[in-house]
Structure 1
Amino acid sequence: MSSTTARLRDAGRTPPTGIPVALAGGKSLQIHHWLRILPGKRLVGYGEWDGRKVLAKLFIATGAERHWQRESNGIQALQRAGLVTPDLLASGELPGGGYYLLTEFLSGSQSLQQVWDQLGDQPDALAAMDILQDALHTIAGMHRQGLAQTDLHLGNFLRYEGQIHTIDGDAIEVQEPGKSLGQRAVQRNLALFFAQFQPQWDKRIDALLPMYLTVNPVSGLEVEPLIEAVRTERQRRLDNFLDKTLRDCSQFAVTRSSRHYCTVLRSEQQALAPLLTDPDSAFGGTPLLKDGGSSTVARVTVGGRDLVIKRYNIKGFSHWLKRFWRPSRAWHSWLAGWRLNFLGIATPQPLAMIERRLGPLRREAWLITAYCPGENLFQRLGETGDDLPDQPTGNAMLHLFNQLNDARISHGDFKATNLLWHDDRVCLIDLDAMQSHDSETSWHKGWARDRARFVRNWQADSKLAQWLEQVLPR
């Protein structure tokens, strides 16, 4: 029996595969694998139609015609402009409501995002610049034809048989039909692109911009205003992402009541279910990592994987009076962890956050993160400071400090025990006091405190302390 629009809509986050989807004209579509699911709205999958491999987009929401039409118009605009994009094979209404759009499936292609991710956490400069050149040449080609991609990221460009293909017609806007985009529109669109990268890449924009200008020489496009626009756009993206971590969406599952609030990575929801139901069960019968008055920390094993759970305690009625009216420390640490994650700064991945509530009033709270097995920097560098770090450790430390500096983030408790060496990176833990600074004055004060506290881990006259004074950003 063919799957109907209603069945696909009702299936939510788990639409069926392996069954035919009836299309207009008596033909059907066989979906082998779903690639993206927006429950009840839009489904994207790989499958077969009329003996061909296809990428299928099914628009199943009520009133989905607008999105389907935008996708069709975007693909056609790319084709009219002579830009390379997968062929549009079929498009139309789904029996029972909704719309479909089928494009050529480029078997063996890789998105530029996949290629970028293969470079690792600190990509080789030449390989990275090669990827960015491919993207910037393609973006410049779109701008020359009056087109702008409003969802501009590396995932929307595919490498296939030596060419770059642009995908996601829904995000293509024809802003200046028949003529090149103006300087302001170009700057706005390039800021959208560069904002997806970590802040340290802002320093490379002066070297990257000429790659764009060789294809589309826009007058008046300057580096400094572009960098300011990039920072503004990155902050907007970060704010939107942090908001997502606190609401029910495709990436996070949120449950709430008058007595309870919980947000968890959706991919971890099933594995963590027993711990989410009874987080205090983690603290019985296992040695604690910390048993202090303000917090209790335990290492637990869930599904064969080590995790850390931290309970933020309420020490008494007077302590509760100071805490109940504001977000919990678990809430703050959850957002701090995801902020670092977004910016590519190493920290154990946050997995879930729970608050016990009494209506709008906060009580105890818990934070669950991945476990980092690395040794802390006291252990790695030695407590005396008599020796300098080896080159990999020294480079990783400076990389972390420069990342924090570029992102204007202060940790607030920069003890060497709060920095762990793992997988050739220095990871930050204990984010309770972390701050992101809006003003230069606030940032300078926060970084100065962090810098002084980190150097103070070792005797002032030690080799290590003196080396740190020389190399740490000021």
Structure 2
Amino acid sequence: MPGNVQDLRNSGREPPLPLQVTTPSGPLTINQWLRVLPGQRLVGAGDLAGRPVMAKLFIAPRAKQHWQREKDGLEALQQAGIRTPELVAAGELEHQGFFLCTDYLAGARTLQQEWDALSDSMPGSRLSPGDPQAIALLGQALRSIALMHRAGLIQTDLHMGNFLLHDCQVQVIDGDAIRALSPGQPVGSREAENNLAIFFAQLDAAWDEMMELLLIEYLQTNAERPLNPDRMLGQVKQVRAKRLHDWLAKAVRDCTHFSVEQRWTRFTAVVRERAGALRSLLEAPDQSFAAGPSLKDGGTSSVTLVEADGQPLVIKRYNIKGLAHWLTRFWRPTRAWHSWLAGHRLQFLGIATPAPLAMIESRFGPLRRRAWLLTEFCPGQNLLELFGSDGRILPDKEQGDALLKMVGQLSEARISHGDFKATNLLWYAGQVWLIDLDSMQVHTSDPDFQQGWSKDRARFVRNWPAGSPLADWLQANLPR
């Protein structure tokens, strides 16, 4: 199907396929879209005059700056002798559009895809610090970063997805993010530290303790400038906090990762890649409560188990008990909204919780009414069932370590749960999972967090009789 820039600007998230574009370098055919930023940039696989290419189409009205940066960045990598897909053609299209084609590397995978494949071996797991295969992947990326820094280049969007593994060789992609700070001369120490902080901030905080060890891979390739690990760690925490802030903002607006629809009577946010499979559930969420098994049916909330695309899911409905109850809630975000953001916060921080998939608020203009939250189902056993109500069973080493690790993660992030009873903690796949996040709170100061944690701690210990072996173990091991 022929396409012009104006049509592509109006094509939304599903541009037509196959797409034929006339370029100064010959006919370009796109057979598969790899990434779509509506009205801005399209990335696809196809061929240019019969040659397999990866094509970027810059279609925004003022796209020339991004196109020029992409072209300049790839050329800077090539001139520095750093592996990157060969630039095949670049130029202008009609109606103020631009194109750029590089060689298509069949079978190539990003380091992020390799990382995800390692972590997919265990449900809900994150690669633990020190995992040899994970360290090998990080080392490959760090060597490429060191090569760029040694050549006076930095990549401002450093993450594993911008490194391509092809024929056992790592190639750097995304020329738009390449900046030449000191061509031919190594970048300065501070610039290198700030840039490396962007990379390390992509990892869970548990990896911070491995940073100096990982830097050995970098220094074996580029030891031209001294590095200050302590300063870099401070930068990592700042970058990670900004990334978290930006991620939570994306969770309630339409973007690449989330599909958000706002109408006068309804607000819906859903993980984009799951939107198709969940469409029928989102259109009529209450039908599930009539058909599925009930997990909870209380006054303020009801919970039921459903199945979508062969996977068990949980829907929680937040009820309005009456006019008086509504008057206390209509003017603020619903508990579903709060839990949706809380779940994404925990996932970002690497704290185990069932993945939040969708959130719905029933509205009348700005006024909120009932709401629904849809999450993955965790088949774990809650800790009250696991250890028994009499407190005679103690956690084994794996269970105890996992519980204390989760508490430490909450402490590091200054998070209190607000309803830290044993039935809201599940044991599954070697981790303690948190559920029921309605009352979760992020504290801005240590004294506020200490107060919140003291309440959580006391509530958790109260699940078992005072003086029982388990209560005594918790009193001795849980931080105060």
TM-score (norm 1): 0.92
252-261 or 462-471, larger mean C-alpha shift = 462-471
What residue in structure 2 maps to residue 102 of structure 1?
A: 101
Shift of 1:149: 0.6
Distance 1:168 1:74 in 2: 8
Distance 1:5 1:133 in 2: 41
303-312 or 189-198, larger mean C-alpha shift = 303-312
Which AA in structure 2 matches 1:123?
A: L
What residue in structure 1 maps to residue 70 of structure 2?
A: 71
Shift of 1:188: 1.8
Moved over 4 A (4+): none
What residue in structure 2 maps to residue 335 of structure 1?
A: 341
Distance 1:14 1:2 in 2: 15
* Aligned pairs (5 A) from 1:16-415: 16-25=16-25, 27-95=26-94, 97-120=96-119, 121-123=125-127, 125=130, 126-217=132-223, 221-284=227-290, 286-415=292-421
The answer to whether the 8 A contact 1:24-1:95 is kept is no
Distance 2:127 2:357 in 1: 26
Instruction: Give the unaligned 5+ runs of structure 1.
Output: none
Distance 2:96 2:343 in 1: 42
264-273 or 247-256, larger mean C-alpha shift = 264-273
Instruction: Give the unaligned 5+ runs of structure 2.
Output: 120-124
Shift of the 464–118 alpha-carbon distance from structure 1 to 2, 3 Å rule, reads: farther
425-434 or 8-17, larger mean C-alpha shift = 8-17
Which AA in structure 1 matches 2:194?
A: R
Shift of 1:31: 2.3
Shift of 1:178: 3.1
The answer to whether the 8 A contact 2:30-2:44 is kept is yes
What residue in structure 1 maps to residue 122 of structure 2?
A: none
Distance 1:453 1:320 in 2: 28
The answer to whether the 8 A contact 1:386-1:462 is kept is yes
Which AA in structure 1 matches 2:312?
A: D
Distance 2:168 2:274 in 1: 38
The answer to whether the 8 A contact 1:348-1:429 is kept is yes
Shift of the 143–326 alpha-carbon distance from structure 1 to 2, 3 Å rule, reads: same
Identity %: 52
Shift of 1:76: 0.7
Q: What secondary structure sits across from 1:309 in the alignment?
A: strand
Q: What secondary structure sits across from 2:118 in the alignment?
A: coil
409-418 or 459-468, larger mean C-alpha shift = 459-468
The answer to whether the 8 A contact 2:352-2:432 is kept is yes
Shift of the 216–286 alpha-carbon distance from structure 1 to 2, 3 Å rule, reads: closer
Number of equivalences: 473
Distance 1:440 1:212 in 2: 35
The answer to whether the 8 A contact 2:150-2:186 is kept is yes
Distance 1:218 1:362 in 2: 58
Q: What secondary structure sits across from 1:102 in the alignment?
A: strand
Shift of 1:431: 0.2
Which AA in structure 2 matches 1:35?
A: L
The answer to whether the 8 A contact 1:38-1:250 is kept is yes
The answer to whether the 8 A contact 2:269-2:359 is kept is yes
Shift of 1:326: 1.8
The answer to whether the 8 A contact 1:60-1:97 is kept is yes
Shift of 1:244: 0.6
Shift of 1:470: 4.4
